[in-house]
A and B are shown apart, each in its own frame.
Chain A
Amino acid sequence: MSLNILKRLLPLVGPAFLYLIWATAVSAKWVSATLLPAPSTTLGYMFHVFATGSIYPDLWSTIYRTFYAFIGASVIGVPLGVALGSSPPIYKSVEFLIDFFRSTPSSALIPLFMLIFGITDINKIAIAGFAAILVIVFNSAYGVMNAKKTRVMAAKTMGVSRFHIFKDVLLMESLPQTFIGLRTGISLALVIVIVAEMFIGSESGLGHRIIDAQQVFNIKDMYSSILVTGALGYLLNLMFMVVERRIIHWGGKA
């Protein structure tokens, strides 16, 4: 086999290793099979829930909550971040608030959001959106603040208006950093949606499915739902990386 093909297979080494350890741990009875089903059983069950379609309503609920939260957070967060970033005095005056709430685990605010929104879908979307908006604002603002001064000056010497300097230069300059914010934001939104589905009376969603399976000791379903959640998070991230590489083609090169 050529070296090139071997190199391409490298990313599979980690998962294969994990699979082996997991399979060995179960078959050697290091852990009780009632607490950890064999990987083959778990994966088999996962295919089963996809084949019968029983997972789709939950998967769909989680996806649409995450997306609503993310889209809401982006629509407000990006313009707000860019606006704050282009006025350092204003950013300085709200910096503490942003950093404080960014450091507060959003899950700690779930009870507060329950008071405001009740036990509804809106609640889950709102709390996830709140978590996402802070990193989005923060990153967009820094993207603008760290814009290369030379490019702004270049536009100034061309006699370009302030509005166009903002739109053509500052906004474009902030995009790479903004995308980092968006990518972190969507991951964070997923995390909070899953937590909210677990603990805010929920009828659907992967978080709800995981906690339900645990309550009735449906171990296979619990593990397969965890894997599906992981795969969802991974795919969201991957999707963003692909979009990012297409749009921000100059990232890291200029």
Chain B
Amino acid sequence: MSNTATNSPSRVHVTIQNLCKEFGSIPLYKDFNLEIRKGKIVSVFGPNGCGKSTLINMVAGLMKIDSGQVLFDGKTLEQTKIGYVFQNYRDALFPWMTARDNIAYPLKRMGMDKAHVQKRVDELVELFEIKFNLKQYPYELSGGQQQTTSIMRALACEPEVLFLDEPFSALDFEMTLFIREKLQETNLKTNVTMVIVSHDLEDAVFLADQILLLTRRPTKIAALLDFEMARPRLAQSVSDPEFIKIKAQALEIFQREMHQQA
């Protein structure tokens, strides 16, 4: 892929340079470098404690980095619109607002007028084919509906990058299939770059254009696998030989890394 043609659809979007992070003088990341291309979905996968969530939290500005820099199309985080979906949707949504007000909240705070907020929320409702009543409060919704709401909220302001921290880990299989499908659709329609942390290899592979496999700490890139299976991928794509092959390859690297002495 060419990195020089800045206007090509696969130009570099997120650049992580010489990122360092220590936890109590034990290095977690040392001179870590990564480039994520525009509009791609990158899944982050690796052994327990290697800092998958820490990595996206640092990139999303939720955690301080010791040194190094992260740029989005050459801009800083402050100049960039991002979305973030948390693993624990119950603690991430605002229970004092209805689901609809939750989705509208970031737009309202951006200073968007009521009519436009209304329009944008309706767009998201259509994109996600929402059948449940958004006038309900988050605690009145099922887990899957809550996570759908929080994904819609994260997408509301049309972010350039969407970060998802184990978005499926608290959902049942049916909801996982639905949300996977919707994320893929969103990516195809809006070309938003996505970074997904997952502890489930199938989830990680399913959505990914690239699978980022990490080593034990101090964390390095074990491999960055390209997965170019055609989209949209369907639920049954997981039994496709192409899918099985890349999953096996990722598993092999993962196991090799797991057995490395820390």
Contacts and interface: CB of A to CB of B under 8 A. Distances in A.
Interface of A: 148, 150-151, 153-154, 156-161, 164, 168-169, 172, 175, 249-250, 253-254
* From B60, B88, B91, B96, residue with most partner A Cβ within 10 Å: B96
B177 interface: no
24 contacts: A150-B88, A151-B94, A153-B84, A153-B86, A154-B84, A154-B86, A154-B92, A154-B93, A157-B60, A157-B62, A157-B82, A157-B83, A157-B154, A158-B157, A159-B81, A159-B106, A159-B109, A161-B109, A172-B94, A250-B137, A250-B139, A253-B95, A254-B137, A254-B138
Contacts of B83: 157
B105 A158 contact: yes
Nearest to B90: A254
B94 A160 contact: no
Interface of B: 60-62, 78, 81-84, 86, 88, 90-96, 105-106, 109-110, 137-139, 150, 154, 157, 163
Given A151-B94, A250-B96, A156 B88 contact: no
Contacts of A249: 96, 137
A150 B105 contact: no
A168 B105 CA distance: 10
Nearest to A250: B95
A151 B91 contact: yes
A115 B17 CA distance: 68
Contact of A172 (B81, B90, B96): B96
B157 to A, nearest CB: 7
Nearest to A159: B81
B82 to A, nearest CB: 6
Contacts of B137: 249-250, 254
B218 to A, nearest CB: 25
Contacts of B154: 157
Contacts of B92: 150-151, 154
Contacts of B138: 250, 254
Contact of B106 (A150, A160, A169, A172): A160
A203 B10 CA distance: 84
